[in-house]
Amino acid sequence: MGGSGYVGLVLAKYFIEKNYEVIIVARHQPKNMPSQVKFMNWDGENLGEWAKSFENAEVIINLAGKSVNCRYNEKNKAQIFSSRLKSTAVIGKAIQNCENPPKNWFNSSTGTIYRHAEDYHQDENKGEKGKGFSVEVATQWEKIFNEAITPHTRKIALRMSIVFGKSGGAFPYYARLAKYGLGGKMGKGTQRISWVHDYDLCRCIDFLIENKHLEGAINIATPDAVTNEDFMKKLRKHYKVFFGLPSTTLMLRFGTYLLGSETELILKSRWVYPQRLLEAGFNFEYDTVDKALKFL
């Protein structure tokens, strides 16, 4: 669900290679969708023909939701809420209507549910929820998900961090800044960046399908949450750019306003730690920023 975006297509290609039958359910069919993938249309709110595809499914992965990369005005905030809550609620109804319900339902959430943390990492057991709009969105999103009655379907809330990949996500944005000499620290530079390589994201999903004892909230992030200043320094080094103009908080507020975004996306310290994945035996292939940057 919501599979027409960057992450959805990455997952589709990964699971095609694993010999899965993959169905993307979205409002619009992506132009670069692999030929092996079947597409079904939905509006993200109401039951339809798409719900029949849930019968005997191995896993439903819900990625639907308006991008948070926008200004938090009242209209956009309402759409951010409704796109997540309504899509999650209708998926729950579709599963309830199945004669042979799917084995697994993995629903997107976000590591932004935790507070701004520069002192220590936030895991699933000891992590502390923050305050503000983004936290409220994540909290209500998980509440709708948890309240769905699906006794024969295992449920996992994917508390995802920033996804890095060559073809999309946040990495190309950071790369452009570094290439053009704008890759200095942002604000104080002490805020942590929690991230995951897109290949490891796919491997995490695969691992969770196989490890049937896991359920509830799972943090999807590498253990290596670096500071913004350190990340930009490493990024410049990989591009052999030895100068990066720093951005003050005032500059970022002005820049994000012009770009139609919010400074929270840059300045909030997300120090998300994958405690449950590590305890279950998952090993990240790209477990450090340097390994990821070398590939990217």
DSSP string, 67-110: -S-S---HHHHHHHHHHHHHHHHHHHHHHHT-SS--SEEEEEEE
Residue 236 belongs to a domain: no
* Polymer length of the chain: 296
**DSSP H helices in the chain:** 6-17, 74-96, 133-147, 171-179, 198-210, 228-238, 249-259, 264-267, 275-279, 289-295
Residue 47 belongs to a domain: yes
- Cβ atoms of 208 and 155 within 8 Å: the answer is no
pTM for this predicted structure: 0.92
Residue 253 belongs to a domain: no
Tens of pLDDT, residue by residue over 121-165, are 999 999 999 999 999 999 999 999 999 999 999 999 999 999 999
Going by their DSSP bridges, the two strands 38-41 and 226-227 should be labelled as unpaired
Residue 30 belongs to a domain: yes
pLDDT at 262: 84
Residue 127 belongs to a domain: yes
Name the stretches of the chain with pLDDT < 50.
Answer: none
- Report the number of secondary-structure helices (H) and strands (E) in the chain: 10, 10
Residue 210 belongs to a domain: yes
- Domain residues for the domain of 52 are 6-163+195-223+271-285
pLDDT at 296: 86
- The CATH number linked to 157 is 3.40.50.720
pLDDT at 51: 96
pLDDT at 150: 96
pLDDT at 260: 86
Number of domains observed in the structure of the chain: 1
pLDDT at 171: 85
Tens of pLDDT, residue by residue over 81-90, are 999 999 999 9
Nearby residues of 80 by Cβ (< 8 Å), 6 or more positions away: 65, 66, 68, 70, 137
Residue 59 belongs to a domain: yes
pLDDT at 50: 96
Residue 53 belongs to a domain: yes
